[in-house]
Structure 1
Amino acid sequence: MHLRHLREAERHVAEGERHIADQEERIATLDRAGCETELARELLASFRVALASHIAHRELIIHEITRRS
């Protein structure tokens, strides 16, 4: 069960990293076009907070797995 949760947490971390990379690319494109980026940057900040949460959750799962081993 814990390994299934770890795989899911790893997937969430990977997705979060992709969201951040994609959003950074969007912001760069907007910047080059001279467009407003405030909302895009706010969304990026939210993605970073979510990623930090996913990483913390993954670490908690890893801790639980190693504690029970």
Structure 2
Amino acid sequence: MDRNILVRHLTQAEDHVAKGKRHLQQQREIVAKLNGEGGGSTRAQRLLNLFEEMQALHVADRERLKKALAEAANP
């Protein structure tokens, strides 16, 4: 893959990871608040679990792109 494309995709992946961290923190706060209030947090917890799975995919994609970029630099 072209180096410029890899760089662009890596930039996007890093943005996704950063946004994912913020979403995870917000969702953890929501779950904690609901648990503290004795309210039902099942749906919020499911959403948190989904966010965690998505974040793992974003991190894996970022690492794959870093590796591809390193390999492109040293063919």
Instruction: Give the TM-score normalised by structure 2.
Output: 0.88
Structure 2 residue aligned with 1:18, among 22, 27, 33? 22
Which runs of structure 2 are paired with 1:1-69 in the superposition (5 Å)?
Answer: 1-69=5-73
Task: Give me the CA root mean square deviation.
Answer: 0.7
Deviation, 1:36, is 0.4
Stretches of structure 1 that go unaligned for 5 or more consecutive residues are none
Which contiguous aligned blocks of 4+ residues in structure 1 show a shift greater than 3 angstroms? none
Percent same amino acid among aligned pairs? 36
Which stretch of the first structure deviates more once superposed, 42-51 or 31-40? 31-40
Alignment deviations for residues 32-67 of structure 1 (CA, whole Å, 9 cap, x no partner): 211001111111000000000000000110010000
Aligned residues: 69
Q: Which runs of 5+ in 2 are unaligned?
A: none
Q: Secondary structure of the equivalent of 2:49? A: helix
